[in-house]
Amino acid sequence: MSQISDFIGKFNTSMSLDQDLIVKKDDRYFLLDPKLKSLIKKDFLYAGIYLGRTKNDAFFPSFSLLTMLAQTDPNRIVVDNKTEWLFICGRDIFKQGITRLSKPGRKGDYTLILTEHGDSLGFGRILHYVDTKDKSKIAVKNIADIGDFLRRER
């Protein structure tokens, strides 16, 4: 569980998750509501909100967790339409694609990547102080993006 809060902390924010309502299935974590908690049996495959999974002690968040994170006050960057699609295709983000620095964060931190409409596209690691004047520099390294839903189906 500490892996989840450590992960959230990298966005320079916090989120309270009721530990009693988190269930683990193999290497995956799910957040339930009390109703689901009262109904669930051990052999489930998926339940409630999927939070993410651990592998070799590293935590890989779900996109549901990133959406929940967007409701708090995390590091976040808004990108333009062209960058939005490039990011979904797995590309990194250059400074010139950033339209708004809502809470830019520091080098090495994680940041959420949002569309102009506020949809969460995924997250990345801040490589440079994003207010740099050199627009050709990669500002954010892509770590996970919602294009993963397409790649999973292949």
Residues that bind other proteins (CB under 8 A): 33, 35-36, 39-41, 43-50, 62-64, 67, 84-85, 88, 115, 117, 119-121, 146-147, 149-150, 152-153
* Pick 30 or 110: Cβ nearer other proteins: 30
Residue placing its CB nearer to other proteins in the complex, 12 or 93: 93
Closest approach of other proteins to the CB of residue 22, in Å: 14
Distance CA 25, CA 14 (A): 24
CB of 132 to other proteins, least distance (A): 26
Q: Give least dist CB 153 to other proteins, A.
A: 7
* Residue 74 to residue 141: CA distance in whole angstroms: 17
Smallest separation (angstroms) from other proteins to the CB of 84: 6
| Residue whose CB is less far from other proteins, 15 or 40 | 40
SS3 131: coil
Contacts of 106 (CB under 8 A, 6+ apart): 12, 126, 129
Q: Quick check: 125 and 143 in contact, CB under 8 A?
A: yes
Shorter beta-carbon distance to other proteins: residue 129 or 149: 149
Nearer to other proteins, 54 or 64 (CB): 64
| Least spacing, CB of residue 117 vs other proteins, in Å | 7
CA 25/CA 122 separation, integer angstroms = 24
Instruction: Identify the DSSP state of 49.
Output: E
6 by Cβ neighbours in 10 Å (0-12 / 13-18 / 19+) ranks as exposed
